[in-house]
């Protein structure tokens, strides 16, 4: 078993991984950028290494800096969390080449699943249904026109290397196709360094249902049930729950089996997620595989009682799975709300600043995975999600009531957050009935929340960003952890070990 693990991430997920390591008696190394000197993950880990300036591409996204930090601290394994380098096959390979275990799948499995067109081909071969469309990158517009005619409008253009909803365009008629292809290609090129796009049939009013899988290096793969993730804004999840209201036992078994088959076809080892889209007639189709721990993994943990990070670490250290499919318990209902530093009344504009007041919910069945504390300045450089609130209860109705109770206890002062939005969403009759689709938010909010931000607000924000960048570019050491506002984290007693 590993004695020391480096967590190549920040925020709530870094803290969450460190917690499991601590329970397992494993030493932890945090990495941090100059903007994160006072961040919770830095305070909580046993050691911490500065890996560069605030911008992710100069710190959290630099494989050589992470590997150097692992070497310097003697970490035997790297946990990548989600985002950042977690799905970079070359990074996984480099860790292994440097003699450091990567807590996740092999670079090869990531490559097989990272290119969505290749993944679609692999799934079709494995007998897993895929959304009708192309299985190769589109070479020219004429081919796009032909395929779109074949599958029928509306169609969805997607980036082959896509993620985070980028490079996606809905096309409702042939006239829109050429310009949508152009803009999708250029967005894909700038976001992923690869402009390849493909076409899928656009399903109206679908649901996003995904299955958590876990596979060891000894040929065992199981699924840990589903997560319903249809509450989305701009194709990004905001609320997740399990079980999904649209699955009955038969469909659940069918999709679970397909998910296991999909993972096996990719030769996949470690934790992963098979995402499906389900149409009105309850036909399900493979969307993509996420080759990492998901943001919403706590929903599965609450229902099964398993700690997915522990399972990931065990699998990466060569242990076989400790249970069969039949032995996995599923109990009750779990819901997760992603809490972001965004203003829901201002089109989800990022809201940054110092947390001046904090009252966290508690009580039965409530879990908070968070990456901030009172007195912490939320940096502008990273994802606005600052915490996840997760609840569990015997039934879905009780879980909704519990989540509303917990949300109403949550007080975060100094910045705007999405807490109020979640309260509204959970009170919506469609959410309560369970009969909702990926268009839920669009239909819920008066006015179009899917619009691009108002240019005036964007300009004001840009000025603020500039100002903040100047403020954070202080000499090293000037903004180290004060240790005064966050006594709980001091228990870890890691400050003595802080490495710069
Ligand atoms: P990304 O990797 O960029 O997040 P996904 O393929 O996972 O892209 O899709 C993200 C979301 O976009 C889905 O959860 C769903 O809401 C929507 N979506 C994707 N494909 C389709 C489709 N063929 N029809 C309708 N909606 C889709």
pLDDT in tens, 100-112: 999 999 999 999 9
Distance from Cα 207 to the centre of ligand 1, integer Å: 10
Instruction: Give residue 447's pLDDT.
Output: 42
Q: Kindly indicate the confidence band of residue 464, based on its pLDDT and cuts at 50, 70 and 90.
A: low
The residue whose CA is least distant from atom 17 of ligand 1 is 235
Query: Does the C-beta of 235 come closer than 6 Å to ligand 1?
Result: yes
Q: Is the pLDDT of residue 130 over 80?
A: yes
Domain at 4-103, CATH from 3.30.450.40, 3.90.330.10, 3.90.180.10, 3.40.50.20 = 3.40.50.20
Over residues 50-64, the mean pLDDT reads 98
Q: Is the pLDDT of residue 122 over 80?
A: yes
Cα–Cα distance measured from residue 291 to residue 108, given in angstroms and rounded to the nearest whole number: 11
Contact 370, 388 (CB under 8 A): yes
Question: Which residues neighbour 303 within 8 Å (Cβ) at sequence distance 6 or greater?
Answer: 225, 242, 243, 330, 331, 332, 333, 334, 392
Query: Does the C-beta of 273 come closer than 6 Å to ligand 1?
Result: no
Q: Which of 120, 292, 338, 468 is catalytic?
A: 292
Query: Does the C-beta of 206 come closer than 6 Å to ligand 1?
Result: yes
Contact 42, 36 (CB under 8 A): yes
Cα–Cα distance measured from residue 352 to residue 54, given in angstroms and rounded to the nearest whole number: 15
Query: Does the C-beta of 154 come closer than 6 Å to ligand 1?
Result: no
Distance from Cα 406 to the centre of ligand 1, integer Å: 30
> What atom in ligand 1 is closest to the CA of residue 200?
23
Instruction: Give residue 493's pLDDT.
Output: 34
User: Could you write out the DSSP letters of every residue in 10-27?
Assistant: -HHHHHHHHHHHHHTT-E
Joined tokens for residue 453: 């931000």
Query: Does the C-beta of 275 come closer than 6 Å to ligand 1?
Result: yes
Query: Does the C-beta of 221 come closer than 6 Å to ligand 1?
Result: no
Query: Does the C-beta of 274 come closer than 6 Å to ligand 1?
Result: no
Query: Does the C-beta of 238 come closer than 6 Å to ligand 1?
Result: no
Distance from Cα 305 to the centre of ligand 1, integer Å: 29
Cis peptide before 144 (omega within 30 of 0): no
Query: Could you tell me the pTM of the whole model?
Result: 0.89
Cα–Cα distance measured from residue 263 to residue 213, given in angstroms and rounded to the nearest whole number: 8
Stretch (H or E) spanning 335: strand 333-340
> What atom in ligand 1 is closest to the CA of residue 237?
14
Over residues 260-272, the mean pLDDT reads 96
Distance from Cα 165 to the centre of ligand 1, integer Å: 7
Q: Kindly indicate the confidence band of residue 445, based on its pLDDT and cuts at 50, 70 and 90.
A: low
Distance from Cα 287 to the centre of ligand 1, integer Å: 7
> What atom in ligand 1 is closest to the CA of residue 167?
3
Q: Is the pLDDT of residue 164 over 90?
A: no
Q: Which residues in 407-431 are b (16+ Cβ under 10 Å) and which e?
A: beebebebbbbbbebbeebbebeeb
Distance from Cα 203 to the centre of ligand 1, integer Å: 10
Cα–Cα distance measured from residue 52 to residue 34, given in angstroms and rounded to the nearest whole number: 6
For 207-444, CATH number? 3.30.470.20
Over residues 64-73, the mean pLDDT reads 98
Cα–Cα distance measured from residue 266 to residue 116, given in angstroms and rounded to the nearest whole number: 13
Q: Is the pLDDT of residue 499 over 50?
A: no
User: What CATH class is the domain 132-201?
Assistant: alpha beta
Query: Does the C-beta of 101 come closer than 6 Å to ligand 1?
Result: no
What's the 3-state SS for 258-300? Answer: HHHHHHHHCCCCEEEEEEEEECCCCCEEEEEEECCCCCCHHHH
Q: Kindly indicate the confidence band of residue 489, based on its pLDDT and cuts at 50, 70 and 90.
A: very low
| Mutation to probe ligand 1, out of 123, 129, 162, 168 (largest number of atoms < 8 A from CB) | 168
The residue whose CA is least distant from atom 11 of ligand 1 is 235
Active site residue 292: yes
Query: Does the C-beta of 399 come closer than 6 Å to ligand 1?
Result: no
Domain map of the chain by residue range? 4-103, 132-201, 207-444, 455-499
Instruction: Give residue 165's pLDDT.
Output: 85
Instruction: Give residue 140's pLDDT.
Output: 86
Task: Note the pLDDT tens digit of each residue in 213-243.
Answer: 999 999 999 999 999 999 999 999 999 999 9
> What atom in ligand 1 is closest to the CA of residue 165?
3
Question: Which residues neighbour 223 within 8 Å (Cβ) at sequence distance 6 or greater?
Answer: 211, 212, 213, 214, 256, 259, 260, 325
Instruction: Give residue 458's pLDDT.
Output: 47
Instruction: Give residue 449's pLDDT.
Output: 43
Cα–Cα distance measured from residue 110 to residue 143, given in angstroms and rounded to the nearest whole number: 28
Q: Is the pLDDT of residue 488 over 70?
A: no
Query: Does the C-beta of 208 come closer than 6 Å to ligand 1?
Result: yes
The residue whose CA is least distant from atom 10 of ligand 1 is 235
Joined tokens for residue 373: 């504390």
The residue whose CA is least distant from atom 18 of ligand 1 is 235
| Strand 197-201 with 169-171, pairing | unpaired
Q: Which of 11-25, 256-270, 335-349, 464-478 has the lowest mean pLDDT?
A: 464-478
Question: Which residues neighbour 305 within 8 Å (Cβ) at sequence distance 6 or greater?
Answer: 329, 331
Q: Kindly indicate the confidence band of residue 117, based on its pLDDT and cuts at 50, 70 and 90.
A: very high
Q: What secondary structure letter does DSSP report for 133?
A: B
| Mutation to probe ligand 1, out of 165, 166, 227 (largest number of atoms < 8 A from CB) | 165
Over residues 20-26, the mean pLDDT reads 98
Question: Which residues neighbour 33 within 8 Å (Cβ) at sequence distance 6 or greater?
Answer: 10, 50, 51, 52, 53, 54, 55, 56, 58, 59, 60, 381
Cα–Cα distance measured from residue 277 to residue 275, given in angstroms and rounded to the nearest whole number: 7
Instruction: Give residue 486's pLDDT.
Output: 33
Q: Is the pLDDT of residue 460 over 80?
A: no
Q: Kindly indicate the confidence band of residue 301, based on its pLDDT and cuts at 50, 70 and 90.
A: very high
Query: Does the C-beta of 203 come closer than 6 Å to ligand 1?
Result: yes
Cα–Cα distance measured from residue 7 to residue 30, given in angstroms and rounded to the nearest whole number: 6
Instruction: Give residue 446's pLDDT.
Output: 58
| Strand 4-7 with 27-33, pairing | parallel
Task: Note the pLDDT tens digit of each residue in 31-40.
Answer: 999 999 999 9
């Amino acid at each position: 078993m590993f004695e020391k693990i480096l967590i190549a991430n920040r925020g709530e997920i870094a803290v969450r991984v460190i917690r499991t390591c601590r329970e397992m008696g494993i030493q932890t190394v945090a990495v941090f950028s100059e903007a994160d000197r006072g961040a919770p993950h830095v305070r909580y880990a046993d050691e911490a290494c500065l890996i560069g300036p605030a911008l992710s591409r100069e710190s959290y996204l630099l494989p050589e800096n992470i590997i150097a930090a692992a070497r310097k601290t003697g970490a035997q394994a790297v946990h990548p969390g989600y985002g950042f380098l977690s799905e970079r096959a070359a990074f996984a390979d480099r860790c292994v080449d440097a003699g450091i275990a990567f807590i996740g799948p092999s670079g090869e499995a990531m490559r097989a699943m990272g290119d969505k067109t290749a993944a679609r081909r692999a799934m079709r071969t494995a007998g897993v249904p895929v959304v009708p469309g192309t299985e190769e990158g589109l070479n020219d517009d004429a081919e796009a026109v032909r395929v779109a005619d074949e599958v029928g409008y509306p169609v969805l253009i997607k980036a082959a290397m896509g993620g985070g909803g980028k490079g996606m365009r809905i096309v409702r008629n042939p006239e829109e196709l050429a310009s949508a292809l152009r803009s999708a290609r250029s967005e894909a090129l700038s976001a992923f360094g690869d402009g390849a796009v493909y076409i899928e049939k656009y399903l109206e009013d679908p649901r996003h249902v995904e299955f958590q899988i876990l596979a060891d290096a000894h040929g065992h793969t199981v699924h840990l049930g589903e997560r319903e993730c249809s509450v989305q804004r701009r194709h990004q999840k905001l609320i997740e729950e399990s079980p999904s209201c649209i699955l009955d036992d038969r469909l659940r078994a069918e999709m679970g089996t397909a998910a296991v088959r999909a993972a096996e076809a990719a030769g996949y080892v470690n934790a992963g997620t098979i995402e499906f889209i389900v149409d009105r007639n309850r036909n399900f189709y493979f969307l993509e595989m996420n080759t990492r721990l998901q943001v919403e993994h706590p929903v599965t943990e609450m229902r099964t009682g398993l700690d997915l990070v522990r399972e990931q670490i065990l699998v990466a250290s060569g242990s076989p799975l400790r249970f069969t499919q039949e032995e996995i318990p599923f109990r009750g209902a779990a819901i997760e709300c992603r809490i972001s530093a965004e203003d829901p009344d201002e089109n989800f504009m990022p809201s940054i600043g110092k947390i001046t007041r904090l009252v966290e919910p508690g009580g039965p069945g409530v879990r908070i995975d968070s990456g901030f504390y009172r007195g912490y300045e939320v940096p502008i450089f990273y994802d606005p999600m600052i915490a996840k609130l997760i609840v569990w209860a015997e039934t879905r109705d009780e879980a909704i009531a519990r989540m509303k109770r917990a949300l109403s206890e949550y007080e975060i002062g100094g910045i705007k957050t999405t807490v109020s939005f979640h309260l509204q969403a959970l009170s919506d009759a469609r959410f309560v009935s369970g009969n909702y689709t990926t268009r839920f938010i669009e239909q819920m909010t008066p006015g179009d929340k899917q619009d691009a931000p108002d240019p005036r607000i964007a300009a004001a924000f840009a000025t603020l960003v500039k100002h903040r960048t100047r403020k954070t570019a202080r000499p090293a050491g000037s903004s180290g952890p004060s240790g005064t506002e966050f006594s709980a984290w001091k228990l870890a007693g890691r400050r003595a070990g802080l490495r710069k």
